[in-house]
Amino acid sequence: MKETIDILIERLGGLAPRIAIVLGSGLGRLANEVSKPVRIPYEDLPGFPRSGVTGHAGELVAGYFGSVPVIMLAGRAHYYEHGNAAAMRPALEVLAGIGIAAIVLTNAAGSLKAEMPAGSVMLVQDHINFSGMNPLIGEQAEARFVGMNEAYDRELREALERAAIKAGETLHKGVYMWFSGPSFETPAEIRMARILGADAVGMSTVPEVILARFLGLRVAACSVITNLAAGMAAGELSHEETKDMAPVGGEKLARVLRQFLTEEMPDV
C-alpha cells in the first residue's frame, strides 16, 4: 500500500486529517459539505474499491469540516459484490498509513423497531456478524485475534451522543446485524434477528469495523434507517427505497456529524 499512501500524501498537500468518515448508500452528499475539497477518484488510488453499486460514488474527498481536517470516503465495497469480505482492507490500510486514527462508518439499514422508523438515525453500540464471514480469515499475524469487546469506541460514542443532543436530533442506540445481502432478509430472518438481539440489519460496516480494529483505528458507526425491515410493513423492499430514503435520515446525521466534528470530537 506504500504506493497509494505516497500518492495520497502528495495529493493532500500537507493536510493531515486524524479522522475519516465512510459514507453509506445515499449519504454521499455529505462530502459536498467539505470545504477546500481535494477530490480523488478511487481509480487514482491503487487498492481502493471499484464499487458498482448505484448510490456509491467511489471518491475520496479530503478537506475541512468547519476547522477540522477530514477525509470522507464516498463509496465502499460490499462483501456481496465479489464475495470478498476484506475488500475495504487496502483502503483502510492506506488511511491508517497516512495517520488517520479514528473512523466513523455510516450505512443505510433496515429497522427492527417500529419506534425507529425510516428517517431515524441509530448509533451502533455493538454488532452481530451473521454472515459467517470474517475479513481476517487467512491473515497470519498474531494480531488477527482482535478483541471486539469495545469495538465501538466509548469516547466517540459519547461524543456523538452529546453532538446529537446539541444538534437537537434524536439518536437511537442499538445493535447492527450484518447479513451478507444482496437479497434482503425474509420476514422469518428478521424475527430471528430480533430474538438474537438486533435492532437494525444491513449489508456493510461489520467487516470494516473488524479490519479497522485490526489496524488499531478507533471506530464509531451510525446507521441511517431507510425502511422497516422485511415483514414489518406492506410492500416489497428495494434498493430504490434505500436510495430514496437515505437522504432523509442523512440530513439528520449530517447535522450530528457537523456538531461532532466541530465541537465534540475527542482528541484522537
**Active site positions, annotated:** 25, 56, 78, 80-81, 108, 203-204, 227, 239
Q: How far is the CB of 202 from ligand HPA (least distance, A)?
A: 4
Q: What span, in angstroms and rounded, lies between the C-alpha atoms of 265 and 268?
A: 8
Cβ(161)–Cβ(152) under 8 Å?
no
Please report, as residue ranges, which positions from 173 to 232 form the binding site for ligand HPA (by CB under 6 A): 179, 184-185, 201-203, 226-227, 229
> Which residues touch 20 (CB under 8 Å, ≥6 apart)?
70, 71, 72, 73, 95, 100, 102, 103, 104
Q: How far is the CB of 24 from ligand HPA (least distance, A)?
A: 8
Q: In the set 167, 237, 253, 257, which binds ligand HPA (CB under 6 A)?
A: 237
Q: Which amino acid is at 154?
A: R
109 touching ligand HPA, by CB under 6 A: yes
55 touching ligand HPA, by CB under 6 A: no
Please report, as residue ranges, which positions from 154 to 173 form the binding site for ligand HPA (by CB under 6 A): none
SS3 121: strand
Q: Which amino acid is at 50?
A: R
108 touching ligand HPA, by CB under 6 A: yes
Q: How far is the CB of 184 from ligand HPA (least distance, A)?
A: 5
Q: Which is nearer to ligand HPA, 107 or 259 (CB)?
A: 107
Q: Which residues bind ligand HPA (CB under 6 A)?
A: 108-110, 179, 184-185, 201-203, 226-227, 229, 237, 242
